[in-house]
Amino acid sequence: MSKIIIIGCGIVGATIAYELSLIPQLKITVIEKDSLACGSTGAALGVMMAVISGKTKGRTWRLREASLKRYQSLIPELEAKTGITIPVNDDGIIKLLFAEDKLDKWQKLAQTRSQQGWNLEILTLGQLQQRCPGVAMENLIGAVYSPEDRQVNPQILTKALVAAAQENGVEFQFQTDCQIPAVAVDSALDSSSGSQTCRQIETNGAKLDCDQVIIAAGLGSAPLTESLAAAVDIRPVLGQALRLQLEQDLGLDSFQPVITGNDILFVPLGDRQYWLGATVEFPDEDGKVVAQPDLLTKFKQEAETFYPAIANAKILASWQGKRPRPFGQAAPVIGKLDGFENVWLATAHYRNGVLLAPGTAEEIKKLMGFA
């Protein structure tokens, strides 16, 4: 049996664990220093912008499309296996278009999507008003509607992935910090590839043998790669978000899509509650970032310009999280760690880790020779 260790139990590590658990003859252990979905995944809004993303080719589209397709079967599969209901919004995503947006660019994208087998509709102001009566139409020129993009509760999804993987025999070690000590690396270079092999990892003092290691530790991936002298630069980009209760429902009962405008997401949760997020706050030169309360206030004020009812909403909760953003290369980072034969990276998904988790798992499976 091949022994695989996955470091990190956010959405990415949990999805890889579940997808690999469907392959016989693998002994999979997931090591998580805290609890499941406690990192970036714990703060995420779960909006999956694939068809509406503007990406039409190359790796970025391939990963998005693969993820969107896999989610169609993955969610019912997990629900049936675990009995956990995963909250999903299937009403699609509406992107508001402002005067500075180029309508012809969106019309062209709608054509491309149609050729690719996906649906994207351009809405006039009248159609938008009919479907989303709570949106203020001033400053808008219309909207784009993507019925096949979705939103999912990332924390419950991760819980379901873990439960399903456990049922398939995956072992999870929570509250277990993981290090890769230099002594565990087989320094005798493989003569054909010139690569090293990681034979063992260390967890809270214990040592675990491994044939393959997958680093899916989000921001924690950077120190792990540093310890192997193959540092991958990943920096935090902070996001603040709010849970709001509105005085009255904004839209139609029968149609509650996610609404996005000017990089602001408005996610309906039912019972007049919504998530509003998220700010994008970059770190200083030392890689440190601290939440700025005034940025959240400004963010909310901007959202009020196209969703006026937010002004009187009750704030039920606010939170923040840090997105793992790669520095000097595109997100996400998926592939073999430089100089290693058996260490894989599935990390640095920045703003789209929930969306891209199934595509990432598929890519990792292929790269490891399991698909």
CB of 140 or CB of 278, closer to ligand FAD: 278
Specify whether the CB–CB gap between 222 and 16 falls below 8 A: no
Kindly report the number of other CB atoms within 10 A of residue 80's CB atom: 9
Least Cα distance to 78 among 133, 11, 145, 33 occurs for 11
Minimum distance from residue 359 beta carbon to ligand FAD (Å): 11
User: Between the CA atoms of 22, 24, 25 and 27, what dihedral angle is there, to the nearest 10 degrees?
Assistant: 20
Which residue's CB is nearer to ligand FAD, number 95 or number 142?
A: 95
Cβ nearer to ligand FAD, comparing 44 with 213: 44
Provide the token pair at 94: 């509406």
Nearer to ligand FAD, 142 or 362 (CB): 362
Residue closer to ligand FAD by CB (options 239, 268) is: 239
Task: In angstroms, give the least distance from the CB of 163 to ligand FAD.
Answer: 17
Length of the chain (residues): 371
Least CB distance to ligand FAD at residue 261 (A)? 15
One DSSP character per residue, 31-83 reads: E-SSSTT-SGGGG---EE-SGGGS--SHHHHHHHHHHHHHHHHHHHHHHHHH-
Q: CB-wise, 12 or 310, nearer to ligand FAD? A: 12
Least distance in angstroms from the C-beta of 158 to ligand FAD: 8
**Whose Cβ is closer to ligand FAD: residue 8's or residue 134's?**
8
Q: Which of 68, 45, 63 is nearest to 146 (CA)?
A: 68
Shortest distance, CB of residue 216 to ligand FAD, whole angstroms? Answer: 6
b/e per residue 115-137 (b: at least 16 CB within 10 A): eeebebeebeeeebbebbebbee
Please identify which residue in the block is written with the tokens 């020129």. Answer: 141
What is the strand order of the sheet 258-261 is part of?
A: 121-123, 140-146, 93-98, 258-261, 264-270, 273-277, 234-245, 314-326
Q: Which of 35/130 has CB closer to ligand FAD? A: 35
Supply 356's token pair.
């891209």
* Minimum CB–partner distance for residue 223 and ligand FAD (Å): 7
End-to-end C-alpha distance for the chain, whole angstroms: 17
Secondary structure letter of residue 311 according to DSSP = G
CB of 296 to ligand FAD, least distance (A): 11
Backbone phi and psi for residue 289, each to the nearest 5 degrees, phi listed first: -145, 130
Question: In the bound complex, what is the minimum distance in angstroms from residue 37's beta carbon to ligand FAD?
Answer: 6
Footprint on this chain of ligand FAD (rule: CB under 6 A): 7-13, 31-34, 38-41, 43-48, 177-178, 216-218, 220, 224, 239, 241, 277-278, 321-324, 347, 349-355
